[in-house]
Amino acid sequence: MRTVFLCLMICMFSSAAFAQRTIYLTFDDGPLEGTSNILDVIQTQNVPATMFMVGLHADASSERAALVTKARSIPFITVGNHSYTHANNHYRLFYSSVEELLADLARANTSLGLTGNPIHARLPGRNVFRLPDLSSDDLSIGKPEDRREEPDFEFVAASGYFLYGWDHEWVHENSGKPVQTVDHLLSEIDHLFGFGKLARPNKLILLMHDEMFQDTFNGAGNLKALITGLKARGYTFGRIKDYDAG
């Protein structure tokens, strides 16, 4: 009887501890070919997600603009700012002027229909956090490059933006094919929580990219399998506004 009681207590403690572990699903670069599949899976699985979108992509066609409208209409999806130009993939130049950076973000706000204060944003190509009680820079940026860029992320944040980096990435090849299998990714996530290597305790922001999900069968299937696997492990899913609360 004592053994059974101890087992129950251990199970209850483990379940309670696991329930504290929250995943924040984030998708960059839309609206693109994968956006519709992402929206369909997120709605079917009924989990919150954040889509950091690019203004230039939204302005590319009426179909792309309609995807932004659809995303914004879904209550548990947050549309965030991922710049207008995505730095034209020339990051050093993009981050050499904070005024031009802010102008680019403001233009994206207009294209994406984002208003209010703060705007949830992720900077292109930079794993940077600027939140009221969390500030960190991209550790992969070396000092010489940092000096060339001279970004003023505090000024960007003070201009009305909450800036989000990420804890882990579902990496993809140029073709959009994911590098890690779903099972491998789930194992990586377990280890990150186990070793506490997160920007905030028991909260993991997962970075994914739109192009990973453009294939209806494999792309959407992988995303569904990931969410199903996370649910089976007992993880909860959070809205990005709740991450702000610490």
d(CA 151, CA 8): 53
Residue with tokens 């992402």: 38
The answer to whether residue 226 sits within a structural domain is: yes
d(CA 25, CA 169) in angstroms, rounded, equals 10
CATH code, 100:
3.20.20.370
For residue 69, being part of any structural domain is answered with: yes
Residue 11 inside a domain? The answer is no
Q: Residue 26's closest CA among 97, 120, 157?
A: 120
How far is residue 55's CA from residue 106's CA, in Å, rounded to a whole number? 10
Domain annotation covers residue 79: yes
Euclidean distance between CA atoms 144 and 132, whole angstroms = 28
Residue type, 59: D
Q: Is residue 141 part of a domain?
A: yes
7: in domain: no
Count of structural domains within the chain: 1
User: Dihedral, CA atoms, 64, 30, 80, 132, nearest 10 degrees?
Assistant: -170
pLDDT tens series, the chain, 246 aa: 444 444 444 344 344 455 589 999 999 999 999 999 999 999 999 999 999 999 999 999 999 999 999 999 999 999 999 999 999 988 888 888 899 999 999 999 999 999 999 999 999 999 999 999 999 998 887 655 555 666 789 999 999 999 999 999 999 998 889 999 999 999 999 999 999 989 999 999 999 999 999 988 889 999 999 999 999 999 999 999 999 765
DSSP-assigned beta bridge partners for residue 58? none
- Answer yes or no: is 179 within a domain: yes
Are residues 121 and 153 in contact, defined by beta-carbon separation less than 8 angstroms?
A: no
Q: Give the chain as a 3 state SS string.
A: CHHHHHHHHHHHHHHHHHHCCEEEEEEECCCCCCHHHHHHHHHHHCCCEEEEECHHHHCCCHHHHHHHHHHHHCCCEEEEECCCCHHHHCHHHHCCCHHHHHHHHHHHHHHHCCCCCCEEECCCCCCCEEECCEEECCCCCCHHHHHHHCCCHHHHHHCCEEECCCCEECCECCCCCECCCHHHHHHHHHHHHHHCCCCECCEEEEEEEHHHHCCCCHHHHHHHHHHHHHHHCCCEECCHHHHCCC
Range of the domain at 72: 22-243
Q: Taking the complete model, does pTM exceed 0.85, yes or no?
A: yes
